[in-house]
Structure 1
Amino acid sequence: MSEAGGERPFLSIGEVLDQLKVDFPDVTISKIRFLESQGLVDPERTPSGYRKFYEGDVARLRWILRQQREHFLPLKVIKDRLEREGEAALDDEMAPTPAPAPAPAAPAAAEPADAPAEEAVRTDRASSPTPRSDGQAAPGGGPDILLSGMSSATFTREELASASGCDEAALADLERYGLLVGKAVGGSSYFDEESLIVARLAAAFARHGVEARHLRMYKTAAEREAGFFQQVVLPGVKQRDPAGRRQSLEALADLVRLGEGLRGSILRQALRPYVDGA
């Protein structure tokens, strides 16, 4: 740590930012200050009020950012774990970094794994059963397809922006067009795991020049489809008999899978003239 700060055993907030940006390109000084304001890190201060970050502080920040990015944990859960486990939670961050092993030859069809938004897209694809050639949905999945498959985590606006790669202006656009809906609690808005999925996918769309206003068509189509499914299975879902309710939920999940397969097929057909002529 003395290399970045000369003879000093600590780093300034700017020097910490430079180190963190290697692994967390989206982190900002405002984010570090926000984490401090939430009690997740407590750097010492110089007599003139400047922050002093030591090795343990930097490791703590890395661990917090990794929990948000890789496990989608809200700050409250992260803070509770730090208070419960103390420095033991940071063991992986404090351990010396092993020398990198020679990289194996990449398979010819290897898929790049970089941005979190792509991971969300791949996860969504992997969780959707492939329709069979006879038009029936592949077995498996059950009513679980109606769930996000993630935790019941909640996110503040700042946490959602950090975890999704969307800046707050982009999140505001998604809210304006009804693609994100937060829950107001005590003057603050909180977002669920589906909001994280939407925000990460929107960030991926944005890299292709697709804006929030263009994504309204997906919301409109999904709401119409949901309304139709409600007419088909809602009476069964509302019944008190557990077995009957389970059967209705399974039917709803089957309809969702069938709808996904049909949409994909129709879209491929519509794009075929352009793809074949490329």
Structure 2
Amino acid sequence: MSIGEVLTLLQEEFPDVTISKIRFLESQGLIDPERTPSGYRKFYGTDIERLRWILTQQRENFLPLKVIKDRLADGSPDAPAGPDSASGTGPAGSTGPLPFSPDGGSDPAPAAAPASATGTGSGGTAASAGSKVRASMPAGELDDADRPQPIWMADLAKSGRGGAEAPRARKVQLSAEVTEVNLTAAELQAAAGLTEESLRELEKFGLVVGRAMGDDTYYDGDALVIARKAASFIDHGIGARHLRMYKVAAEREAGFLEQLAMPLLKQRNPEARRQAVELVEELADHGHDLRAALLRANLRKHLDRA
């Protein structure tokens, strides 16, 4: 199958999927379709099953791409087998590719869709009753108490952005791990409890910033934390424009810390960069505590006066 045919096959189940998103997933190493001598992508049944599973995890569990990639690499029980598995490289019952035409070419006779990662196919039966709960199981099949927690929550907790239950040495950490969540706008809204209008307002005032990838925009872990905190203000009737003071203060503080670290960064060697990161993280921590203490002192003064 060509990438255009794969898009047609999946779009009814995943309305937000686009060709650019499929290419983005390939660029991140989550899928690896075969290439023809002329450079066109050729998707087999196992490629489509893998892609369907990835999209399901993103939509229903808000899984960051790193976690999805790790689960695929580790052979997670509910993850589909790779294209080089013993089950073959084509659709079920076949060892050849699905009908293929170059990207955007004419459509051949439609092929039957492979079984989804949920363990059921068209006319198939579900997994045995004793099997573990699947991430793709419809919400109505589980009680709220039994429903598994979305993995992005654990990912944020691990990175230290999810709350006090994941303490770490630094309150402010600049490592890349904390931004490895990748959410679409719809996923960000669901995860943060925002309406589409509220998210647009936060973007308008520069509080939430997405990363464009083709026709799509993705939001990282920092954007998720900002959106969730902003949602709490919005719940109290405080609009996005009133939150700009936090953005302005953060930008001024970041500029000040950048000036302090610049002599180390100009040395252009790994050790100097490590020292610069440690300096900025340490001073950012001190700034965090100083800001909290000053805020407490001012609030106490105003409340005592009232």
TM range (shorter): 0.5 to 0.7
Match of 2:212 in 1: 184
> Residue 252 of structure 2 aligns to which amino acid in structure 1?
R
> Residue 141 of structure 1 aligns to which amino acid in structure 2?
R
> Residue 73 of structure 1 aligns to which amino acid in structure 2?
P
| Aligned 8 A contact 2:230 2:240 in 1 | yes
| Aligned-pair CA distance for 1:224 | 0.4
| Aligned 8 A contact 2:184 2:217 in 1 | yes
| Aligned 8 A contact 1:128 1:257 in 2 | no
The answer to whether structure 1 residue 174 and structure 2 residue 202 are counterparts is yes
Q: 5+ unaligned residues in a row in structure 1: which ranges?
A: 1-32, 40-60, 101-115, 130-139
Q: 5+ unaligned residues in a row in structure 2: which ranges?
A: 1-10, 18-54, 82-116, 120-126, 146-152
Distance 2:64 2:162 in 1: 17
Distance 1:34 1:194 in 2: 31
Distance 1:127 1:266 in 2: 25
Size of the aligned set, in residue pairs, is 192
| Aligned-pair CA distance for 1:246 | 1.3
The answer to whether structure 1 residue 73 and structure 2 residue 64 are counterparts is yes
User: What whole-Å deviation, never above 9, does each CA across 1:8-36 have from its counterpart, x for those lacking one?
Assistant: xxxxxxxxxxxxxxxxxxxxxxxxx9854
Distance 1:174 1:209 in 2: 14
| Aligned 8 A contact 1:148 1:194 in 2 | no
CA 1:127–1:216 in 2, change beyond 3 Å: closer, same or farther? farther
Pairs within 5 Å for 1:120-131: 123-124=162-163
CA 1:159–1:206 in 2, change beyond 3 Å: closer, same or farther? same
| Aligned 8 A contact 1:161 1:171 in 2 | yes
- Give the TM-score of the pair, scaled to structure 2: 0.51
- RMSD (Å) for aligned C-alpha atoms: 4.1
| Aligned-pair CA distance for 1:275 | 4.1
Aligned-residue identity in percent: 35
- Give the TM-score of the pair, scaled to structure 1: 0.56
Q: 1:91 aligns with which of 113, 132, 148?
A: 132
User: What whole-Å deviation, never above 9, does each CA across 1:124-151 have from its counterpart, x for those lacking one?
Assistant: 556677xxxxxxxxxx339x71247545
Pairs within 5 Å for 1:88-127: 91-93=132-134, 123-124=162-163
Q: Is the helix fraction higher in 1 or 2?
A: 1
Match of 1:193 in 2: 221
